[in-house]
Each structure stands twice: as C-alpha cells, then as structure tokens.
Amino acid sequence: MTSRTSHNARFGAPENAMVFAAGIRKSYGHFEVLKGVDLEVPEGNVACIIGPSGSGKSTFLRCINHLEEINGGVLLVDGDFVGYRLNGNKLYELPPAAICARRAEIGMVFQQFNLFPHMTVMGNLIEAPVRVRGERPAAARERAMTLLERVGLAQKHDAYPRSLSGGQQQRVAIARALAMKPKVLLFDEPTSALDPELVGEVLTVMKDLAQSGMTMVVVTHEIGFAREVADQLIFMDEGVVVERGSPREMIASPQSRRTKEFLARVL
C-alpha cells in the first residue's frame, strides 16, 4: 500500500496491522493517563473502545494521530511511526511538515464536530485537500460532491455549518475527514453530542464506511453499534485495557466485574 518499509514485523505486529499500539504510556505531569495500552487493528477492521469517562479513551486516540506525544511504548500506523523516523535503534523526531503529512493520513472525527464555522460545507471539505495536498480546487470540489452524496448532504454544499443540525454537521465532519483519503479513521464519541433522534443517521454513515472496508477506531457508548459493526471490542478503565474480545461475546458475558458494571450502566 505504501512505498515505506513496514516496521510491523520488527515490532511483532501482524503484517496487515493498520494500527499497532504496544504498551502505550502517557502522562500529564505526574498523572499517568495511559498505563500501557495495547491495540491491534488489522486493515479493514473496526475496533470499538468503550469505558467510563476519564479512562483515557480520548487521550489514546489523540496519541494515535500524534496530537499527543506518547511517553512510552510503540505506536505504528500502517507500519510506521507517526511522529518519528526509525533509524537503527534510534527514533528521530520528524520536522512539523513531515508529521503533518503523516497525520493527514489519519482522519479524526470529534464529539463536537469542530467544523470550520466561517467556511461553507464545501469550504470545509476542500480546505485541507487544496492547502495541504495541493489538489486543484476544481478536482477537490468534484470529489467533495461525491463524498457529500455519500453522506446524503449533496444539497447542503453551499450551507454554513451553523445552519445544519448536529447530525448533519457530524456527517459533514466525516466527509471532511474522508476528503483526505485517510488510511484509518478515528472517531471520538461521534454521537455523544447529538439529540437521540439524530444518532441513527450518523451511525448509518459509519456502518456504511465500515462495510466499504475503512479501518476504524471508534470510541463510543453505542453498544448496539459496537455489537453489530465492530470486529473487536475494548473496555478501558483508568488507563488500562481491562477486557477485550469479540463484541457479541463480551457484551453477552463480560468476564471482568468492572466491564459488567459498566455495561449494566450503558445498556
């Protein structure tokens, strides 16, 4: 898929791992938020992460696309480090331009949508392809229309984000992430800020994406979505993975007491 040499084998990851995290540690000052988190997402798979608030789910996602620097562990996306270049046994920190280029391959969808309010829907979609990738505006616009059709919002291309409903805004945000042709999409509670009746339309788009073979890491409280779509389910608490496995089995018969208690609360 890439011209880069994959480091997957060297770090004991399967050849097809799109996201590989081993022993990820992250601290803010003296407070350790992530205490050795492992994750392996093969290409085309969907991993759902659940867990109580404050357990470090968002922090973990932000480590994957290097919005946060990790303090320990190995994190590979598509077989390579996001913020570093491996040479022998040394990791050289990449210059900002190189980090941004790598980060562009990792899409992210936020709880609060974070659309750019001063740009139209179309402006939101073509901003990064044009300014970061140097695509021709006409070509970027054409592709953006295709993506908007895919999320069912082609007629809204000229609208400003604030005139859209939360569900529509989140679908635009997904299309915006897709416009960069990412290798993997990270979702941070994409439906938590939505009115209940708007959750469905966003989940539908996400299911469609999963079926089309997009690699996805989804932090969510939508257990139904996890059961139906996810290839693996991860339960995190206090910075560690407490339990992982097949979604159906884990939801039906959780092994750990903490998982049991958490599922009882959200189901």
Partner 1 sequence: MADSAYKAPANATDTTALVVVPLRHPFRIAAITMVVISVAAILYSVFTNKEFQWPIVGHYMLNPIILRGLATTITLTVAVMIIAVIIGTIAALMMLSPSRLLSVPARVFVWLFRGAPALVQLILWYNLSIVFKTITLWLPGVGTIFSVQTNDVMTPMTAAIVALSLHEAGYMAEIVRSGLNSVVRGQTEAALSLGMRPALSIRRIVLPQAMRLIIPPTGNEAINLLKTTSLVSIIAVGDLLYSAQAIYARTFETLPLLIVVTIWYLITVSVMSFGQYHLERYFSKDDRKTGRGRSRGILRRIFSFRQRAAVA
Least spacing, CB of residue 157 vs partner 1, in Å: 10
Interface positions, 185-204, toward partner 1 (CB under 8 A): 193
Pairing assessment for the beta strands 90-93 and 106-109 based on DSSP bridges:
unpaired
**Residue 54, binding choice from ligand ADP, partner 1, Mg ion, none, Cβ under 5 to 8 Å by partner class:** ligand ADP
Q: Give the Cα separation of 188 and 227 in Å (integer).
A: 17
Site string for partner 1, 32-71 (x = CB under 8 A): ---------------------------------x-x----
Q: 76 to each of 2, 69, 73, 127, 262, how far by Cα in Å?
A: 14, 13, 10, 27, 30
Least spacing, CB of residue 33 vs ligand ADP, in Å: 4
Of 1, 91, 100, 252, the one binding partner 1 (CB under 8 A) is 100
Full DSSP string of 116-145: -TTS-HHHHHHHHHHHTT---HHHHHHHHH
Least spacing, CB of residue 188 vs Mg ion, in Å: 6
Of 2, 5, 146, 163, the one binding partner 1 (CB under 8 A) is 163
Of 57, 103, 171, 221, the one binding partner 1 (CB under 8 A) is 103
- Residue 266: other Cβ atoms inside 10 A: 11
Least spacing, CB of residue 78 vs Mg ion, in Å: 24
Least spacing, CB of residue 163 vs ligand ADP, in Å: 29
Least spacing, CB of residue 76 vs ligand ADP, in Å: 21
Residues at the interface with ligand ADP (CB under 6 A): 28, 33, 51, 53-59
Of 20, 110, 235, 262, the one binding partner 1 (CB under 8 A) is 110
Q: Where does this chain touch partner 1 (CB under 8 A) — which range of 11-19, 21-29, 85-93, 103-111?
A: 103-111
Binding site for Mg ion (CB under 5 A): 58
